[in-house]
Amino acid sequence: MTPESVSPQEAKKLIEQGFLLIDIRDRAEYLREHIPYARSLPLTDITAGKTVAGAERQPVIFHCLAGMRTVQNANALLKAASPAPVLLMAGGINAWKSAGLPTIEDRKQPLPIMRQVQIVAGTLILTGVVLGYAADSRLFLLSGVVGAGLLFAGLSGLCGMASFLLKMPWNNLRNRN
């Protein structure tokens, strides 16, 4: 059974009536930007068996970035909020912002790790192409290696670049205030 979807405007009205809003994105995504009323409960915690505190007293609305994670994991979300009624916010925080509703943003927090991967991979590929044309055709291999790494990450779910970037000082959660 898939929970009913609500628009961001409907979700805002329901939150004002006492519904809980649960953000299932990774903690780093939440820290970077979130809806003022939202509580963070990452999907990884939910799939590990964590439940929504307070769900026994209030209905729950779940949201993610664009709505895909909530729809794909609807059964786990229903279980995490049981016995409370569950709704999914259509379009996630992206739709919330498109509707002109407020968010809390902390630009001191690092970008989400997959955006960092996209920036680094794109930079390396572009560098390989430019240097391949300008300096030495063997430098096209840089673009090929990065592309192969992205292909491997997509097929296996393991991203070496993301693992590497998570170890960088700006992503070290223990060093942040």
Q: What CATH architecture does domain 4-105 belong to? A: 3-Layer(aba) Sandwich (3.40)
Domain definitions of the chain by residue range:
4-105, 113-175
* pLDDT attached to residue 173: 60
Q: Is 64 annotated as catalytic? A: yes
Q: Distance between CA 73 and CA 46 in Å, rounded?
A: 10
- Find out whether 33 and 25 touch, Cβ atoms under 8 Å: no
pLDDT at 175: 46
Give the amino acid at 143.
Answer: S
- pLDDT at residue 177 in the model: 46
List of residues 6+ apart from 4 with CB closer than 8 A: 87, 88
At 54 the pLDDT is: 76
Instruction: List the chain pLDDT tens, one digit each, 177 residues.
Output: 678 999 999 999 999 999 999 999 988 889 999 999 999 999 999 999 998 987 777 899 999 999 999 999 999 999 999 989 999 999 999 999 999 999 999 888 888 888 889 999 999 999 999 999 999 999 999 999 999 999 999 899 889 998 899 888 888 764 454
User: Could you give the 3-state DSSP secondary structure of residue 113?
Assistant: helix
Beta strands in 4-111 (DSSP E): 4-6, 20-23, 33-34, 38-40, 60-63, 86-89, 104-105
Catalytic residue among 64, 81, 86, 146: 64
Radius of gyration of the chain (CA): 20
